[in-house]
Amino acid sequence: MAHPTSLMIIGAILFGLGATGFLTRRNMIVMFLCTEIMFQGVLVNLVGMGMMHGNLEGQVLGIFVLVIAAVEAGLGLAIVVMMYRRRGTLDAESWRQMRG
Amino acid sequence: MLSQQLVYWAYGVGGFGALCVYFGLPKEGRPERRGLFVLLLAVTLGGLVLLFDRLLGESANRFVFSILALLGVGGAVRVVTHPRPVYSALYFILVVLSTAALIIYVGAEFLGVALVIVYAGAILVTYVFVIMLSQQSTEATESRFASVLDYDRSAREPVWAVLAGFILMATVAAIIVKRDWSDWDEVSAAAMTEKNTLELGKMLMTEFAISVELAGVLLMVAMIGAIAVAKKRIPHASDAVESPPRGEVGKTVDPF
């Protein structure tokens, strides 16, 4: 059996990579893909933590994370489609006037 | 002092990974260094293998674990750095599949299978569909990524983004490896993997029954919201000629 520490490290790596991509990519679809990578990291982390405690609550929480990820993908992509219709481009920089 | 050594390993692997992602990110006006990117990726993944080797010790199947972890991390790097969104989505499938295999491997069978069905089956199809829907034609240029759009060709503030992401990652990883996890309950963790799906179902239907209902309501609300947000206003042919008074049936469609 693999040690859960390794799972947690994989979770941390996936989360950091997703955060980097979300900050630096300009295509809105790829930005949302990067949030999905962050969800993957959290999910792996939850499974590792659940193993550590020796019960299934981590996996149950992982299922709810899956539900939230599906909801986020649906709503986020609907918003992306709407924004694409407004501007005709997927570039997040085209919305920079929304900065405070 | 083994744990201190592991912390340095984590920082080192994080530093090489940061360089790798920085050179992999597409940036307009910078010469593309593909060889450097591949070299740094190889160094990073090798360091990761050594780190896992030290963490996992003499456990029997650490090779399988390391290979799955490398596939996942390498796929994630390519999702972040690939200039074409379709390929990013395809590499994301690799990440999902290797993560699911990893999770199944440590005993969470139901969650792994659900991951494949929901992510690789449903969410990725939605992503690819949206990518196809919003595909744009581009003017021909002499660049290597001639058909790649300009905003995919240049990343936004790559230095600061890479610093932020990898400092976060290295800090979390260092805290994880520094702590002494020797008190973890290996026996009950091993017992947990038997009848995983059965136990999970019992737990969901008893302890977390209200949460399951709430998740269902949330999914329905999200579906209604997505339809309301993405609904297209259908312009009527007479709109272009003259703007008729509002409210006449069949002439103006007012969604709200």
- Supply the CATH number for residue A33's domain: 1.10.287.3510
**Does ipTM exceed 0.95?**
no
Interface of A with B in 36-95 (CB under 8 A): 36-37, 40, 43-44, 47-48, 50-57, 59-60, 62-64, 66-71, 73-75, 77-82, 84-85, 89-93
Tally of structural domains, chain A: 1
- Domain ranges, ordered by start, for chain B: 2-185
Interface of B with A in 193-222 (CB under 8 A): 196, 199-200, 203-204, 207-208, 211, 215, 218-219, 222
- Domain holding A83, by residue range, is 4-98
What span, in angstroms and rounded, lies between the C-alpha atoms of B162 and A19? 9
What span, in angstroms and rounded, lies between the C-alpha atoms of B222 and B253? 24
Judged by average pLDDT, the poorest of A64-73, A79-88, B114-123 is: A79-88
Q: Model confidence over B52-90: pLDDT tens digits?
A: 887 777 666 778 888 999 999 999 999 998 888 889 999
Q: Which pLDDT score, from 0 to 100, does residue B240 have? A: 59
- In this complex, which of A17, A48, A63 lies closest to B76 when CB atoms are compared? A17
Closest by CA position to B137, among listed A89, A95, A30:
A89
Q: Test B111 with A93 for CB contact under 8 angstroms.
A: no
Q: Model confidence over B17-61: pLDDT tens digits?
A: 888 888 888 877 677 778 888 888 888 888 888 888 877 776 667
Burial (0-12, 13-18, 19+ Cβ within 10 Å), B177: buried
Q: Can you give the C-alpha Rg of chain B in angstroms?
A: 25
Q: Å from B248 to nearest chain A CA? A: 26
Judged by average pLDDT, the poorest of A4-8, B140-144, B166-170, B186-190 is: B140-144
What span, in angstroms and rounded, lies between the C-alpha atoms of A44 and A94? 35
Q: Which pLDDT score, from 0 to 100, does residue A1 have? A: 46
Residue A41's contacts (CB-CB under 8 Å, 6 or more residues apart) are A10, A11, A12, A13, A14, A15, A16, A17, A18
* CATH numeric code, B2-185: 1.20.120.1200
- In this complex, which of B127, B160, B192 lies closest to A33 when CB atoms are compared? B127
pTM here is 0.86
∠ CA A61-B105-B200 to the nearest 5 degrees?
A: 35
Helix axes A4-24, B158-178, angle to 10 degrees: 170
